[in-house]
Amino acid sequence: MKHAIKAEEAAAMVPDGASVLIGGFMAVGSPHRLIDALVARGARNLTIIANDTAMPGKGIGKLISAGAARKVIASHIGLNPETQAQMIAGTLEVELVPQGTLVERIRAGGTGLGGVLTPTGIGTLVAEGKEVIEVDGRPFLLERPIHADVALIASRQADYVGNLDYSLTAHNFNPIMALAATLVIAEPQVIVPVGVIPPDAVKTPGILVDHILAREV
């Protein structure tokens, strides 16, 4: 059984300089209370790995506005002008990765693969400095796996052994990110007794989850 922790306790487990996987898609399905707790703690020099940086004042955008990130690895930053401004000013390093490639790199990190082969990016700036491997006469980029210090994920439900299920678009990134970090902290909407989540609805088994966030009171 896992003891549910407070948001400030969780934020204290994420050291400055850590690499952090954060689930969600444009702030939908993101762990908002954990993000707020990191901002409140004054986190610094984080490498944030996520699909996007949302928008100013929303989701990961709050961490960008607070100056918590040193580097962002994401698929797009187009809706967050603050991310763009920090990148142009040279205060934030941004590595743009095609969305499918990003999730597969995270999956590779979580499952112990040495990387993934993809044709996406061949002949573009994405290919610069990367190894090209030919398979059946076709060139593929070797994309390296991503593994992070911490994963902050959002789920619909958790039980007290840490089993998680997800709703709708929260399936994007969250379950895969739970595989690919040394420390996994889940922020469920509700915590239910063991057995309430049907076994075939469990998308992240409790063995992967280190801590669950207590409900707000």
- Position 168 scores a pLDDT of 87
- Position 217 scores a pLDDT of 63
- Give residue limits of the domains in the chain: 7-99+146-212
What CATH number has the domain spanning 7-99+146-212?
3.40.1080.10
Buried b (16+ CB within 10 A) or exposed e, 20-43: bbbbbbbbebbbbbbbebbbebeb
140: β partners? 133
Give pLDDT tens digits along the chain (217 positions): 788 999 999 999 999 999 999 999 999 999 999 999 999 999 999 999 999 999 999 999 999 999 999 999 999 999 999 999 999 999 999 999 999 999 999 999 999 999 999 999 999 988 999 999 999 999 999 999 999 999 999 999 999 999 999 998 888 899 999 999 999 999 999 999 999 999 999 999 999 999 999 987 6
Cβ atoms 55, 80 nearer than 8 A: yes
**pTM of the shown model:** 0.95
- Position 41 scores a pLDDT of 98
Provide the 8-state DSSP code for 213: B
- Position 69 scores a pLDDT of 98
H or E element in which residue 150 lies: strand 148-159
- Position 214 scores a pLDDT of 95
CA dihedral 122, 128, 134, 137 (to 10 degrees): 40
